[in-house]
């Protein structure tokens, strides 16, 4: 059976156009952008061209606002630790939503070891941040607030402009992890009122090994990685020209094609949701409409998410789950628990993320595989009333 890849939330395949553009810098682009000879200057030109393309994707003020990193996890660490430690004289409080990615929550927990307090803002049953609770949690001692643009696991898009207004009304800084959202929905850091924004190359169909942090002019950060002073002194280390060039080209393609691709994926997503919800005791997770255009997430009673993943893989369909196997712990997803699911409900999750390679003609095949998977696992499950104990 031909592969149907549905796990772009974990890793996207590099776009062939991006690879064709970037591979020249893998084969010939051996220059160091910090070198002053002609080979180094050519590498510097490639680096700055990529920076311009990323700038345009998010409508940043200038190319100087973009700091390249090795991945979005590093960018999140730089944003959170860098802002908190650079502004430690103002206070030692950090704020985040309960559904942030672990690469946001863990750096904040690390700050707690240095005397910071962490306030976690609840979300409703669809994953929308409680703006009233956010307003109440912010104080003059809050050095960094982090709210993601859209959640990678349930697809819910947050009201970033409303959140920004609350944060800025108190004169504070807002960091937004846009890893899951960028390239799928329009992002305008100026209109949205964002101070720091995280991006990932691979989530834009670019190469793995590159990420970026937007830093609004005037925001001061303390470097997390020290060395030669690259990237305006905020991220030391020789830049990965191949990955960064690819990220820039991926950002350009995403900007040019976003409007058409969004509508195409929305139609497929809605059909997928409609058909899968005909399965008995199946439920959509996340907001029904205020969600990413390519994202469909579900939970099923009486079965385990990791079993769903492995069974779907036998159909040569790769999906994701928010249960134990993906989090590498024995606990269910913190995101699903945050939206009010019980432990046994959170374990039966499945996430399908559509991409450029998917077609509407695949939907019946996907739905058939999901239905057969759920039926089979329920027959085997001791948790199911229909199961054999």
Bridge partners (DSSP) of residue 176 are 197
Sheet bearing 93-97, strands edge to edge: 66-69, 211-215, 196-200, 174-177, 142-146, 93-97, 117-121
Residue of 225, 324, 325, 367 marked catalytic: 325
CB contact set of 113 (below 8 Å; sequence gap of 6+): none
Bridge partners (DSSP) of residue 90 are none
CB contact set of 264 (below 8 Å; sequence gap of 6+): none
State how far the Cα of 311 lies from the Cα of 316, in Å rounded to an integer.
9
State how far the Cα of 277 lies from the Cα of 69, in Å rounded to an integer.
40
Count Cβ atoms within 10 A of the Cβ of residue 80 and give its class: 0-12 exposed, 13-18 middle, 19 or more buried. buried
State how far the Cα of 243 lies from the Cα of 257, in Å rounded to an integer.
21
Tokens of 295: 């994202």
131 catalytic? Reply is no
State how far the Cα of 247 lies from the Cα of 251, in Å rounded to an integer.
6
Which residues participate in catalysis according to the annotation? Answer: 325
């Amino acid at each position: 059976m031909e592969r149907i890849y549905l796990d772009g939330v974990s890793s996207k395949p590099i776009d062939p156009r991006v690879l064709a553009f970037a591979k020249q810098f893998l084969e010939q682009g051996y220059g160091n952008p910090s070198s002053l000879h002609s080979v180094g200057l050519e590498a510097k030109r490639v680096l700055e061209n990529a920076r311009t393309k990323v700038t345009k994707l998010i409508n940043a003020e200038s190319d100087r606002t973009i700091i390249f990193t090795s991945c979005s996890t590093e960018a999140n660490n730089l944003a959170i630790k860098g802002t908190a430690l650079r502004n430690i004289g103002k206070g030692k409080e950090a704020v985040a939503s309960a559904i942030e990615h672990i690469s946001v929550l863990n750096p904040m927990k690390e700050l707690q070891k240095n005397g910071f307090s962490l306030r976690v803002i609840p979300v409703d049953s669809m994953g929308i941040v409680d703006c009233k609770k956010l307003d109440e949690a912010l104080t003059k001692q809050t050095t960094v607030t982090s709210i993601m643009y859209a959640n990678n696991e349930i697809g819910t898009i947050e009201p970033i402009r409303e959140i920004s207004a609350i944060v800025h009304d108190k004169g504070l800084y807002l960091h937004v992890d846009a890893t899951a959202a960028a390239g799928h929905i329009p992002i305008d850091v100026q209109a949205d009122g964002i101070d720091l924004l995280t991006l990932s190359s691979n989530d834009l169909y670019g190469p793995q090994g590159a990420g970026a942090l937007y830093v609004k002019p005037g925001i001061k950060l303390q470097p997390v990685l020290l060395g030669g002073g690259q990237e305006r002194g905020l991220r030391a280390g020789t830049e990965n020209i191949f990955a960064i060039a690819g990220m820039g080209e991926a950002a350009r393609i995403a900007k040019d094609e976003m409007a058409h691709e969004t509508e195409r994926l929305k139609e497929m997503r809605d059909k997928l949701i409609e058909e899968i919800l005909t399965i008995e005791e199946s439920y959509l997770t996340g907001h029904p409409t205020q969600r990413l255009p390519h994202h469909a997430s579900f939970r099923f009673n009486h079965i385990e998410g990791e079993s769903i993943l492995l069974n779907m893989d036998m159909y040569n369909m790769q999906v994701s789950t928010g249960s134990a196997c993906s989090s590498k712990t024995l606990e269910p997803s913190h995101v699903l628990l945050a939206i009010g699911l019980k432990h046994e409900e959170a374990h039966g999750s499945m996430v399908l993320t559509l991409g450029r390679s998917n077609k509407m003609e695949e939907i019946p095949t996907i739905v058939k595989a999901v239905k057969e998977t759920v039926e089979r696992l329920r027959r085997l499950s001791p948790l199911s009333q229909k199961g054999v104990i």
